[in-house]
């Protein structure tokens, strides 16, 4: 029984979260109690979950069967390295978000705090249950609970039509995805009638059925993660939800999709085929490029971050695709390397994206504005938030020495080691893919400069911003937790990679951590030092030393005098805030270059207009390409079916009678 101790603790944490949620229901309107007591307690449970995840990564898999649920359908649970790692990320992210929520929900409209607390903790508990479930039944149960609670959380502000619409869209797409998952599990159990994952692991599906199962899983989990063209709910749901909820959605709900794909592809299916990898790679690449390009032209700060999440999910799928490709050719070191990059990105993105979303929450609290066109200059009024968000933005831009860079570095390394693939067509594909990845990385930098620069730098676009107040202590505490995560993930990649070694060992049968540990704890060298190495701590120390020395020497040899004066205005005395670049202006070059990526309607004023009016609207092209046609078809079918419904009871009786007749004819024949 001693083996089971981590799994038991995780069940206790889940129960604790459920308990906190139920407590919320009893004190439904007492804002103070809910925010100052229940949310911080939830954060403590998050820390505990993270620690258990960390510790149990190194243990062998643990199993448990809980006699809950329907008769003869007990809950099968299993805790292995993959679940431990995702539990660690869940604990890490949820702690930051819960602490921040303690400050954020003190004053915000929408659902009553108790209800919110219930939905939030239920969502956390269901996500933890997804990660430890070991049969399709409990998996789908937890999966649906997560979808439903997430929908309710998105619709917190249910009085706005935008939030209701976003919630509906999210629910619709997750259910289409869930349908695919049901079919996928149905295939995986291969007519045995036994839906436990341990049974699925032992089935040897033939290539066709395995492929169908794989693509169903890709579709179903992709709908949750937001791959093209199922990403459509992200830019709607993220802006509509309260910021901590957007943070949780982006930082972890999307990652459950990644977890699912990894679980099905590398654990439940026994083969991996190269063209699955190519398909996933292509899909991921398209998602990443599309996401980042759309993100540069957004004018709503949360929508911008939502598209940036689409980009990051795309990069993770690129990593998964590469892993499948290498795995299909039995190149264990490389598949372990690209899987490590993917998993690293899961944690890195979780940390910096939740930080950025929480930052938008602090900005919205202070100003009530979400549109970039009305913000600006907040660094002067919210300095602490600004510095924190700057760190998050640098990590999101994939710049050294922060967390985003390590994942990108590992991913690019796995591309560079590719040339040994036995298929020359694939070998040719690799440089093109690497080039697109580099382009996506550079564009992410563009996005983040736009995001930070327009919100925090320059002159405030509106007078009310002068009264913006900085984040409160709960919010700052939440920020610091996530900043710490970003820094540690950026500076201690060796420790992190050796943790991931357990997961890669489980999934692709190889562990690169021994090669890495060989070079000491400072140096990240996945294959050998001569091939590639990166030492973030040395890097950052040297950079700091160079900057400090430059500062001290300039002060010592010259002076530190300065004067204040008005900025230079080319002799024009009436400079104002409307003369600086807007969010639209900042996106303009990208709009010109990547015009094919979106549908743009633009109204330009002419020289003779009495009231000149300029308007640009950018729409996701997938609405026009896929969703509107589907909606139109559905509506038309509904109208045809609707003709049957006359609303008169006599007609309905006629229908029943006719159905009965037909059935009788079938039976008696």
**Which residues inside 562-601 make contact with another protein, applying CB under 8 A?**
562-570, 575, 577, 579-581, 585-586, 588-590, 592-593
Considering only residues 243 to 262 of the shown chain, the ones binding another protein according to CB under 8 A are: none
- Cβ proximity to another protein: between 104 and 534 the closer is 534
Number of C-alpha atoms within 13 angstroms, CB side, residue 18? 14
Residue 130: closest CA among 41, 222, 258, 266: 258
Residue 242: other Cβ atoms inside 10 A: 25
- Cβ proximity to another protein: between 161 and 557 the closer is 557
**Minimum distance between the CB of residue 535 and another protein, rounded to whole angstroms?**
4
Residue 163: closest CA among 154, 172, 153, 152: 154
**Minimum distance between the CB of residue 24 and another protein, rounded to whole angstroms?**
41
Q: Is 376 in the site for another protein (CB under 8 A)?
A: yes
**Minimum distance between the CB of residue 216 and another protein, rounded to whole angstroms?**
34
Considering only residues 524 to 543 of the shown chain, the ones binding another protein according to CB under 8 A are: 525, 529-535, 538-539, 542-543
Both tokens of residue 105?
């929900």
- Cβ proximity to another protein: between 568 and 608 the closer is 568
Number of C-alpha atoms within 13 angstroms, CB side, residue 323? 28
- Cβ proximity to another protein: between 39 and 586 the closer is 586
**Minimum distance between the CB of residue 283 and another protein, rounded to whole angstroms?**
21
Residue 339: closest CA among 641, 15, 82, 653: 82
From the list 203-211, 212-220, 376-384, 470-478, the region that binds another protein by CB under 8 A is 376-384
**Minimum distance between the CB of residue 523 and another protein, rounded to whole angstroms?**
6
**Minimum distance between the CB of residue 45 and another protein, rounded to whole angstroms?**
37
Considering only residues 477 to 516 of the shown chain, the ones binding another protein according to CB under 8 A are: none
For another protein (CB under 8 A), the number of binding residues is 86
Burial of 105 (0-12, 13-18, 19+ CB in 10 A): buried
**Minimum distance between the CB of residue 539 and another protein, rounded to whole angstroms?**
5
Helices within 155-188 (DSSP H only) = 161-188
- Alpha carbon distance 258, 181 (integer Å): 13
Considering only residues 278 to 317 of the shown chain, the ones binding another protein according to CB under 8 A are: none
Residue 635: other Cβ atoms inside 10 A: 11
Residue 580: other Cβ atoms inside 10 A: 16
- Cβ proximity to another protein: between 261 and 382 the closer is 382
Residue 558: other Cβ atoms inside 10 A: 8
- Alpha carbon distance 192, 157 (integer Å): 46
**Minimum distance between the CB of residue 555 and another protein, rounded to whole angstroms?**
9
DSSP code, position 36:
I
**Minimum distance between the CB of residue 450 and another protein, rounded to whole angstroms?**
8
- Alpha carbon distance 351, 568 (integer Å): 40
Considering only residues 397 to 456 of the shown chain, the ones binding another protein according to CB under 8 A are: 397-400, 405, 408-409, 412-413, 416, 419, 424, 427-428, 430-432, 434-435, 438-439, 441-443, 445-446, 448-450, 452-454
**Minimum distance between the CB of residue 575 and another protein, rounded to whole angstroms?**
7
From the list 331-339, 483-491, 521-529, 652-660, the region that binds another protein by CB under 8 A is 521-529
Q: Is 547 in the site for another protein (CB under 8 A)?
A: yes
- Alpha carbon distance 527, 514 (integer Å): 10
Rounded to a whole number, what is the distance in angstroms from the first to the last CA of the chain? 61
Q: Is 234 in the site for another protein (CB under 8 A)?
A: no
From the list 21-29, 74-82, 114-122, 556-564, the region that binds another protein by CB under 8 A is 556-564
- Cβ proximity to another protein: between 255 and 345 the closer is 345
- On whether the CB atoms of residues 322 and 277 are closer than 8 A, the answer is yes
Of the candidates 523, 621, 622, 627, which one interacts with another protein according to CB under 8 A? 523
3-state DSSP assignment of residue 602? strand
- Cβ proximity to another protein: between 424 and 668 the closer is 424
- Cβ proximity to another protein: between 12 and 616 the closer is 616
Q: Which residue has the tokens 């341990």?
A: 198
Residue 398 region, left (φ>0) first, then alpha (ψ -120 to 50), else beta?
left
Query: Bridge partners of 599?
Result: 619
DSSP string, 406-421: HHHHHHHHHHHTGGG-
- Cβ proximity to another protein: between 261 and 430 the closer is 430
**Minimum distance between the CB of residue 260 and another protein, rounded to whole angstroms?**
30
- Cβ proximity to another protein: between 237 and 386 the closer is 386
Residue 532 region, left (φ>0) first, then alpha (ψ -120 to 50), else beta?
beta
- Cβ proximity to another protein: between 564 and 610 the closer is 564
Q: Which residue has the tokens 């909820």?
A: 245
Q: Which residue has the tokens 């101790």?
A: 5
**Minimum distance between the CB of residue 347 and another protein, rounded to whole angstroms?**
19
- Cβ proximity to another protein: between 177 and 348 the closer is 348
- Cβ proximity to another protein: between 204 and 565 the closer is 565
**Minimum distance between the CB of residue 547 and another protein, rounded to whole angstroms?**
4
């Amino acid at each position: 029984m001693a083996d089971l101790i981590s799994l038991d603790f995780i069940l206790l944490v889940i129960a604790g979260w459920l308990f906190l949620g139920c407590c919320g229901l009893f004190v439904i309107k007492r804002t103070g109690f809910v925010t100052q007591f229940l949310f911080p307690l939830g954060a403590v449970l998050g820390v505990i979950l993270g620690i258990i995840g960390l510790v149990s990564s190194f243990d062998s898999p643990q199993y448990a069967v809980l006699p809950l649920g329907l008769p003869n359908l007990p809950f099968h649970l299993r805790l292995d390295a993959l679940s431990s790692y995702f539990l660690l990320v869940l604990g890490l992210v949820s702690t930051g978000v819960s602490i921040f929520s303690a400050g954020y929900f003190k004053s915000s409209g929408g659902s009553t705090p108790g209800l919110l607390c219930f939905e939030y903790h239920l969502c956390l508990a269901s996500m933890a249950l997804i990660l430890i479930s070991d049969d399709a039944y409990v998996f789908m149960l937890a999966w649906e609970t997560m979808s439903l609670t997430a929908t309710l959380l998105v619709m917190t502000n249910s009085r706005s039509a935008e939030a209701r619409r976003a919630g509906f869209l999210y629910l619709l797409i997750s259910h289409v995805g869930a349908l695919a998952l049901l079919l996928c599990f149905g295939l995986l159990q291969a007519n045995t009638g036994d839906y436990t994952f341990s049974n699925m692991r032992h089935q040897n599906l033939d290539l066709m059925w395995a492929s169908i199962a794989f693509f169903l899983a890709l579709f179903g989990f992709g709908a949750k993660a937001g791959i093209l063209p199922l990403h459509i709910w992200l830019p709607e749901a993220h802006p509509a939800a309260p910021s901590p909820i957007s943070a949780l959605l982006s930082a972890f709900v999307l990652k459950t999709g990644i977890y699912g794909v990894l679980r099905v592809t590398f654990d439940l299916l026994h083969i991996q085929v190269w063209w699955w990898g190519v398909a996933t790679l292509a899909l991921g690449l398209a998602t990443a490029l599309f996401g980042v390009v759309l993100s540069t032209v957004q004018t709503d700060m949360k929508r911008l971050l939502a598209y940036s999440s689409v980009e990051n999910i795309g990069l993770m799928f690129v990593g998964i695709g590469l892993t499948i490709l290498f795995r299909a050719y039995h190149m264990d070191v490389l598949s372990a390397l690209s899987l490590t990059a993917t998993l690293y990105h899961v944690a890195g993105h979780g940390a910096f994206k939740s930080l950025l979303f929480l930052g938008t929450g602090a900005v919205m609290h202070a100003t009530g504005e979400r549109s970039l066109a009305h913000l600006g200059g907040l660094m002067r009024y919210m300095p602490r938030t600004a510095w924190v968000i700057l760190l998050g933005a640098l990590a999101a831009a994939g710049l050294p020495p922060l967390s985003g860079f390590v994942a990108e570095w590992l991913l690019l390394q796995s591309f560079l080691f590719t040339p040994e693939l036995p298929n020359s067509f694939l070998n040719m594909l690799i440089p093109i893919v690497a080039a697109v990845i580099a382009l996506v990385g550079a564009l992410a930098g563009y996005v983040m400069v736009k995001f930070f620069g327009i919100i925090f730098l320059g002159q405030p676009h509106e007078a009310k911003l002068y009264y913006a107040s900085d984040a409160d202590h709960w919010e700052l505490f939440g920020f610091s937790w996530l900043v710490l995560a970003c820094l540690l993930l950026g500076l201690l990649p060796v420790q992190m990679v050796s943790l991931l070694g357990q997961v890669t060992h489980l999934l692709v049968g190889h562990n690169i951590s021994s090669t890495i540990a060989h070079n000491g704890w400072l140096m990240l060298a996945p294959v050998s030092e001569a091939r590639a190495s990166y030492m973030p701590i040395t890097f950052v120390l040297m950079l700091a030393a160079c900057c400090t020395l430059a500062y001290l020497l300039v002060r010592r040899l010259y002076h530190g005098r300065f004067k204040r004066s008005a900025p230079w205005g080319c002799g024009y005395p009436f400079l104002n805030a409307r003369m600086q670049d807007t969010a639209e202006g900042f996106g303009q070059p990208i709009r010109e270059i990547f015009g094919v990526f979106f549908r743009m309607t633009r109204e330009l004023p002419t020289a003779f207009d009495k009231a000149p009016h300029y308007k640009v609207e950018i729409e996701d092209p997938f609405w026009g390409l896929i969703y509107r046609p589907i909606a139109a078809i559905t509506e038309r079918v509904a109208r045809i079916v609707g003709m049957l419904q006359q609303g008169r009871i006599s007609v309905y009786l006629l229908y029943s009678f006719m159905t009965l007749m037909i059935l009788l004819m079938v039976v008696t024949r």
